[in-house]
A and B are shown apart, each in its own frame.
Chain A
């Protein structure tokens, strides 16, 4: 915390002087810095950011940290001489599972899968949800009604159960888990963005934009969307964690390929050994899932507090 606060305070004296002569673009950056500073004032958010950064580094440098298994790096290399050994054994810092798979290797390469899962699902659902929600809100009327009833149908079924059903129909594979989660997650964004757009559409500055002769598309692009996305950003951040949580649950019950270095699958694989005292496989994989979900929740909450002026504690 002290580490981050020193450069912050140095930056806060600066803008005042150069704001007078800078152009609009740098003012925009100054405002982004302000939001960033606001976010970073919460120590819990900083913790979240640090954890996420570490996970990102881990995912990026995975081939450097451990030698990639051939042909499929997302299957742990089997060390048949060391089955079910505990943490701290030479060559296996976090131990191995019942097929000699290295737990540390699994967690490192699993972070890549988690990143792939959450980014693919969140970005694709964000785009789909934004398009559907925007069309509904901007067009209104019957189309709005029609789209929102579809959304209602999706929302009526609990996320996990719905995703489970889809993934089960598609058959066990990691790609199908991604697909299933994408089908489930877009509705929330559609609902949120629709509500926000309807709120923004009633503001005077949208009326003012129409008064100067702007086209609907231009108003949407310049006035409506930028002022409506904030809750979406927060929700997307939270979902980066939620998606991995549900994805892990699905692979835990066996909807990913066998032996995949996915954290949920690892928890499942290590489960049978727990009663025999081999706690390490499930525990370390579980901690990885926990930290991932926790980190994104902390950052999401921090973002919400920083972006919503009505939240207490400012």
Chain B
């Protein structure tokens, strides 16, 4: 064996060793740092990663199934048994892909935002983009998106109105407006058959529909006033205490306090019941009037 190997080794040794320039500058670059290793991980890690990857893939697929109809209970199963919904929420993977679905909008919708100040004068804040946008429209307008969302999701309106109240206050020397009014505006995109004769239309010549929606009063709206700490930060004059309408959030501390108060009340009640209990002998020294 060694006899056979000897000459071979000699041959290798005799071969001219490539220069550094040849290996570094001219030899092709290898495309694998560990050619002897087929898989990315060792067995135990591979098993662990398989579980994690399989879970993510499965949850992703189920999450994107409709939450109603025939797949409703599959959702329920995955959410209850496999915490699918919680996982997607915690990892920021919650998703919905209903863009232009089931149909794109066929009307242009805008929410006009008006403010009535202390003197009763009404101001249009120009938050809607009807006739206001500059073209070409290059930079995406988040405010436009939010304006549309006010139309579709009514729950946002009172928060938006509260901000309008605060913003007015912050930019008008601390003076709060009276109320915020929402006016819904929309134009109908004509179907193609209607505009074939003119091969198009001017969007500003479409009939503009308008309808008054909510009115929110700044003084009675939650967070419709600038709180003291922000007034101080912005250098606004202080307001009388109690003006700021805060929301109540019940934290563990409040619950603990409530429990303690409840326990105290129960204790007092128990004590009171004890005082009235005829079966308990009264301590002699504590008999009313005994000290006298």
A and B assemble together: no
